[in-house]
Structure 1
């Protein structure tokens, strides 16, 4: 039960995030949860507890709860709705995700970001924000300090998008539906998409959500490929250690071919697509998924140290801003196509 204090704190933070969202609907619940975690992580008096008695529970929240939340996220996705976009739109969305993903990794490496940071920033900015970063972090066994900076950056840029994109709506000459498509293709978190697109009306919001969930579907193949690469690297390290007589990596640390939560996510998508899931079940699943992800994102946010980010993270900040500009530009170009 050593995990109980940390999980209880994450649950309390999720309730506070819900209250903030209820009072100010423009602030997405999950964004509020990350922000609360970041704020708590900056309080000097709290750091001893965060690194001590609360650490086991926060680890459970940021890892296990994240994976369960992503599995339930699959119940939001119906392949019928996605196919309704048309093949051209689907191809364009996939192209935007892949180009942003590859381009951001390239930017991260060009600016000399350490460890898994380029991969994590690329995953968050191209797919679905902090949730995607948490999923990828678990697969590649990223360190907390590698995960913290991408979480802060994607939260910052996603929050800025809520304010900035509506200001560009009319100057860029976008119709309501085009604005919805642009938001869905370029804003990071689902909640941030809703907060940004709703100002253009229900039709814009509807198309924005479908486009965004199509991007979310890309989480499964991208994470699975990353797991395959990590598995191959692990195997090569074991083989090298065997040849040289050095200490071999732990065999248990080798990632599975397809992470279990990715398989669960895909299974949930198929269930939603193939079976008439009762609305009451979907509502409960949506509530549970939101609660799990809010707790997970609070845990991830609490690992962020803004002081260190300000002192050493200017390169990461520049990469994040460039990645945000890249995906917004690609998405704008896509909605201009006939």
Structure 2
């Protein structure tokens, strides 16, 4: 006998197939993350502060929503799946021509800066009695591309009660440090009488987040802005290598291990497609905007799911590690610019 189709009354009472379907419960949490992302974007456009910082702070402020069972599946989906796809879509922003324009010396120097900064993060983490995972998370965020790198690395770390808390702390700290650097570094580099090429290299090599690199570079001049952006994108190009390495080092074969990071394959494929084919700029901008939205929604969900009380009680040594890593990267960048860039 054929089953009766759900009526409008069934739907209103919450007993219809649509309301009870698992995918609907996922979309409720996704909708919450999306609304926070939209609000954060609006505030960022009107007040000039980083979108991810607004999203994270708003998510933390709405932490009580993390205790709503019906929202949990969608928040988890946003914090993990949306995040990974968003990172994968970042590959559309990278072209081989950007890498080739730097020259061999700059490429070698930037690769060394990334590796040494990551090593510094690991060493500091052990020195302060912290876990390897925090050293990889903080060192990778400072070495590569700030909040985006922190989110990508977090997605391949083994499941741990402190993972979301550490991610929130790293995102907040590197975003604040990057914003401060955006204002102070151009003034400092000009005061040190560096050339335009050196300033562009330094801004791209030492400021964490892409948006702040662009802002700092173009505040000096168009040529500096172009150089800084290209240098920064080369740092971004190391992201899949770093995340793959971390996955196989600590995220594989352990309790709570993460699945193979296929989203990084998407990153590499998009970068290759952009390098080989003449992809319309409008399409690349669409992918870039979609990537940004997914990562903002992901950090919103992470903020909601994080324990704000635990984040506020974090030991000062966690922040000290990030500050020292930032100073270490700055010092290395100045040495490299002095020796290699004219």
Q: Same fold (TM over 0.5)?
A: yes
**Residue correspondences, number:** 313
From the superposition, tell whether residues 2 and 232 of structure 1 become closer, same or farther in structure 2 (CA, over 3 Å). closer
| Structure 1 position 129 matched with structure 2 position 146 | yes
| Structure 1 position 38 matched with structure 2 position 18 | no
Q: Counterparts of 1:1-338 in structure 2 under 5 Å?
A: 1-24=24-47, 26-27=48-49, 31-41=50-60, 43=61, 46-52=62-68, 53-114=70-131, 116-142=133-159, 143-230=163-250, 233-234=253-254, 249=255, 253=257, 255-256=259-260, 259-303=261-305, 307-338=309-340
Distance 2:39 2:196 in 1: 33
TM-score, normalised via structure 1 length: 0.85
Distance 1:116 1:270 in 2: 30
* 8 Å contact kept, 2:44–2:54: no
1:188 aligned counterpart, secondary structure: coil
2:339 aligned counterpart, secondary structure: coil
Deviation at 1:180, TM superposition (A): 1.8
Deviation at 1:47, TM superposition (A): 2.6
* 8 Å contact kept, 2:182–2:215: yes
- Is 110-119 or 194-203 further displaced after alignment? 110-119
Deviation at 1:187, TM superposition (A): 1.1
Query: Which structure's CA Rg is the greater one?
Result: 2
* 8 Å contact kept, 1:115–1:146: no
Deviation at 1:167, TM superposition (A): 3.0
Deviation at 1:113, TM superposition (A): 1.9
From the superposition, tell whether residues 255 and 289 of structure 1 become closer, same or farther in structure 2 (CA, over 3 Å). closer
Residues 272-313 of structure 1: per-residue CA shift (max 9 Å, x gap): 111111122112112211211221222234455565444332
Distance 1:162 1:185 in 2: 12
* 8 Å contact kept, 2:64–2:304: no
Residues 64-95 of structure 1: per-residue CA shift (max 9 Å, x gap): 11111111110111112211100000000000
From the superposition, tell whether residues 99 and 192 of structure 1 become closer, same or farther in structure 2 (CA, over 3 Å). same
Distance 1:170 1:160 in 2: 16
Higher relative contact order (CA 8 A, sep 6+): 1
Distance 1:280 1:110 in 2: 48
Distance 1:177 1:97 in 2: 20
Distance 2:209 2:76 in 1: 22
Deviation at 1:8, TM superposition (A): 1.7
TM-score, normalised via structure 2 length: 0.84
From the superposition, tell whether residues 115 and 336 of structure 1 become closer, same or farther in structure 2 (CA, over 3 Å). closer
Q: Structure 2: which 5+ residue stretches go unaligned?
A: 1-23
From the superposition, tell whether residues 195 and 6 of structure 1 become closer, same or farther in structure 2 (CA, over 3 Å). farther
1:139 aligned counterpart, secondary structure: coil
